[in-house]
């Protein structure tokens, strides 16, 4: 297979949704069909030893939620698939945002009974702003749900995008018994197991007028299905690949991840329609996957994937050129040459050494602290710089300190490593060495950090909320002594030693800006491209 063919068979996508819509369950079933796992774990079955493969942290297993993005790679139908399973919880939006920078398309999971929910709306906007093609999977149709036309209206009204159903649920008043494949003109019905009264994977398939299909459907259901299909043909949006690629139309699929119903047909159709790796924007211009010079960017740092060794993995999205194990590359932000040794690909925490990787692939590199989220690595002879990631401004702040001064070394080491993942912002106060000020966009981030420090670094810590709600940076890093009106502000320094001004509320922040009219205040840190050597 040629290098060009290898690139074109890549499909790199994220799965996004509101919590509990079934995102992680769908991920598990896709892995099951891809042969990557042989027994899918249920995120509900906490009394058993089976957990979702993508929920690999201990806290995820205990709570049944995803708190960090997982990287999952497997082959199916001739495609090399890179799935990035993202946290659905709003407190981890920043991790999801960074992950979406690394994909070529996204699968949006919607609960058939709830429609478009708040977090789905936020994540969709990120995809829309980046022009990422969206494929929609309406999940849980084995349960009572909304009318599918109402769901289509919900998607258009709330998200502002038209939808094109690729299949259609069979049933009336939210009681669905199967799906109709509009392209192949086939009905697929799921049946109940007589022994347990639950729906199972075995299906009956056939055309709408086949006797076996007719025998399982009431006259009302058949009539409703025919009317719906006729209305879709006359008034629905036709499939348009160009509109999908521009993010103006979303292919819509109905199914049930928990019962496997419709998942395989969705996967196969998605792989047919989804885009391969495409060109990327850099400060120097656009680069194409086929460009021979290697380039990649770091979209995620993960500490302690192997808690016994306190390792640190930098996840790279390859954008151009062919990666080969042991390659020496230029780190644009420091100007140093780095050797990318021991590259790994992942199925959550399971690792496999990579000898060669192509644009679209995600690889993990052991890192000793040189790399940061948003950093670029490339060939020295053809330097490029990927545009840095915006940072979500923190809204909650707390003081973090160890309960025992005897654990100070482990405390400093743990805080340093976990801060590099980017979910929590760490600030130092001048002359205070026993504690840090931490900032986050959600309370759950504090709980996760406390849990991980205790379990992964054996340090019991105190997290004490402080009464500040917003942070301000200044353009040009204006030192505190040059500002007027800092009486109500706490002055701290971020990991790049930039002064940060924490304020009780937005009114106080506005008052500070009013008193210092010659200073430009920023609600988030300046982009890291200013760290480029020689700039």
pLDDT at 53: 44
Q: Is 277 one of the annotated binding-site residues?
A: no
Q: Is 251 one of the annotated binding-site residues?
A: no
Please check the confidence at residue 321 and state whether its pLDDT lies above 90. yes
pLDDT at 200: 47
Q: Is 527 helix (H, G, I), strand (E, B) or coil?
A: coil
d(CA 24, CA 431): 45
Name the residue with higher pLDDT: 368 or 348: 368
Give the global pTM.
0.77
Please check the confidence at residue 41 and state whether its pLDDT lies above 50. no
Helix extents (H) in 67-218: 93-100, 118-130, 148-154, 211-216
| Window from 292-306, 327-341, 473-487, 499-513 with minimum mean pLDDT | 292-306
Q: Is 343 one of the annotated binding-site residues?
A: no
Q: Is 18 one of the annotated binding-site residues?
A: yes
Q: Is 216 one of the annotated binding-site residues?
A: no
Q: Is 255 one of the annotated binding-site residues?
A: no
| Window from 68-82, 312-326, 460-474 with minimum mean pLDDT | 68-82
- Residue 221 has a CB neighbour count (10 Å cut-off) of 17
Residues 6+ apart with CB under 8 A from 184: none
pLDDT at 87: 61
Q: Is 157 one of the annotated binding-site residues?
A: no
| Window from 159-163, 180-184, 315-319, 417-421 with minimum mean pLDDT | 417-421
Angle at 145 between CA 141 and CA 147, to 5 degrees: 110
Residues 6+ apart with CB under 8 A from 202: 190, 191
Q: Is 499 one of the annotated binding-site residues?
A: no
Tell me the pLDDT of the chain averaged across its residues. Answer: 83
Q: Is 525 one of the annotated binding-site residues?
A: no
pLDDT 10s digits, 66-116: 434 567 888 899 999 998 876 644 545 566 777 888 999 999 999 999 999
d(CA 324, CA 3): 13
Separation in Å, CA 384 to CA 292, 319, 359 = 13, 11, 15
pLDDT 10s digits, 138-158: 999 888 888 999 999 999 999
Q: Is 369 one of the annotated binding-site residues?
A: no
Name the residue with higher pLDDT: 327 or 198: 327
Q: What is the dihedral of CA 247, 249, 252, 258, to 10 degrees?
A: 10
pLDDT band with cut points at 50, 70 and 90 for residue 197: very low
The whole-number average pLDDT for the span 243-251 is: 92
Q: What domains can you pick out in the chain, each with its CATH number?
A: 3-69+83-172+238-275 (3.40.50.300), 281-378 (2.40.30.10), 396-522 (3.30.70.3280)
Beta bridge partners of 350: 347
Q: Is 416 one of the annotated binding-site residues?
A: no
| Window from 316-325, 367-376, 509-518 with minimum mean pLDDT | 367-376
Q: Is 23 one of the annotated binding-site residues?
A: yes
Q: Is 203 helix (H, G, I), strand (E, B) or coil?
A: strand
Please check the confidence at residue 55 and state whether its pLDDT lies above 60. no
pLDDT at 205: 79
Q: In this structure, are strands 175-181 and 167-172 parallel, antiparallel, or unpaired?
A: antiparallel
pLDDT 10s digits, 161-171: 999 999 999 98
pLDDT at 22: 82
d(CA 384, CA 382): 7
Please check the confidence at residue 390 and state whether its pLDDT lies above 70. no
Phi, psi of 118 (to 5 degrees): -55, -50
Phi, psi of 212 (to 5 degrees): -65, -40
Q: Is 17 one of the annotated binding-site residues?
A: yes
pLDDT band with cut points at 50, 70 and 90 for residue 307: low
pLDDT at 121: 85
């Amino acid at each position: 297979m040629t290098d060009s063919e290898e690139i074109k068979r890549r499909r790199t996508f994220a799965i996004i949704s509101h919590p509990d819509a079934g995102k992680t369950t769908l991920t598990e079933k896709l892995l099951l069909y891809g042969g990557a796992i042989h027994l899918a774990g249920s995120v509900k079955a906490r009394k058993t030893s089976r957990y979702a493969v993508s929920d690999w942290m201990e806290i995820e297993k205990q709570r049944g939620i995803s708190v960090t993005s997982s990287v999952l790679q497997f082959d199916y139908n001739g495609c090399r698939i890179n799935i990035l399973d993202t946290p659905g919880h709003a407190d981890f939006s920043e991790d999801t945002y960074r992950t979406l920078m690394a994909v070529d398309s996204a699968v949006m999971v919607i609960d058939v009974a709830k429609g478009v929910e708040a977090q789905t709306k936020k994540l969709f906007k990120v995809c829309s702003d980046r022009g990422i093609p969206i494929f929609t999977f309406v999940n849980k149709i084995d349960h009572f749900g909304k009318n599918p036309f109402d769901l289509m209206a919900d998607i258009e009204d709330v998200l502002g995008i038209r939808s094109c159903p690729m299949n259609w649920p069979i049933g009336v008043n939210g009681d669905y018994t199967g799906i109709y494949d509009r392209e192949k003109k086939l009905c697929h019905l799921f049946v109940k197991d007589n022994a347990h009264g639950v729906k199972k994977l075995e299906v009956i398939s056939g055309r709408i007028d086949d006797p076996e299909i007719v025998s399982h459907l009431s006259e009302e259901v058949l009539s409703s299905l025919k009317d719906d299909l006729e209305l879709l043909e006359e008034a629905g949006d036709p499939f348009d690949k160009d509109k999908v690629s521009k993010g103006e139309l979303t292919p819509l699929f109905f199914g049930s991840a928990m019962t496997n119903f419709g998942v395989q047909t969705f996967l196969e159709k998605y792989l047919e329609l989804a885009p391969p790796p495409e060109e990327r924007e850099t400060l120097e211009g656009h680069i194409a996957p086929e460009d021979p010079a290697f380039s990649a960017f770091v979209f995620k740092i993960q500490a302690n994937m192997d808690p016994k060794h306190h390792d640190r993995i930098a996840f790279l999205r390859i954008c151009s050129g062919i990666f080969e194990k042991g390659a020496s590359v230029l780190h644009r932000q420091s100007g140093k040459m780095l050797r990318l040794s021991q590259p790994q690909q992942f199925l959550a925490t399971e690792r496999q050494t990579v000898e060669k990787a192509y644009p679209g692939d995600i690889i993990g590199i052991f890192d000793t602290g040189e790399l940061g989220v948003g950093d670029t690595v490339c060939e020295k002879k053809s330097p490029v710089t990927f545009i840095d990631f915006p940072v979500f401004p923190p809204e909650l702040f707390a003081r973090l300190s160890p309960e025992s001064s005897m654990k100070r070394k482990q405390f400093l080491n743990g805080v340093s490593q976990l801060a590099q993942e980017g979910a929590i912002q760490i600030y130092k106060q001048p002359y205070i060495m026993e504690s840090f000020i931490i900032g986050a966009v959600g309370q759950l981030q504090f709980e996760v950090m406390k849990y991980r420090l205790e379990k992964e670094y054996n340090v019991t810590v105190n997290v004490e909320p402080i009464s500040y709600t917003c942070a301000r940076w200044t353009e040009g890093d204006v030192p505190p002594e040059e500002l007027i009106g800092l009486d109500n502000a706490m002055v701290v320094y971020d990991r790049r030693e930039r002064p940060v001004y924490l304020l009780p509320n937005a009114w106080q922040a506005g008052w500070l800006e009013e008193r210092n009219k010659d200073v430009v205040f920023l609600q988030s840190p300046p982009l890291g491209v200013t760290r480029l050597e020689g700039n």
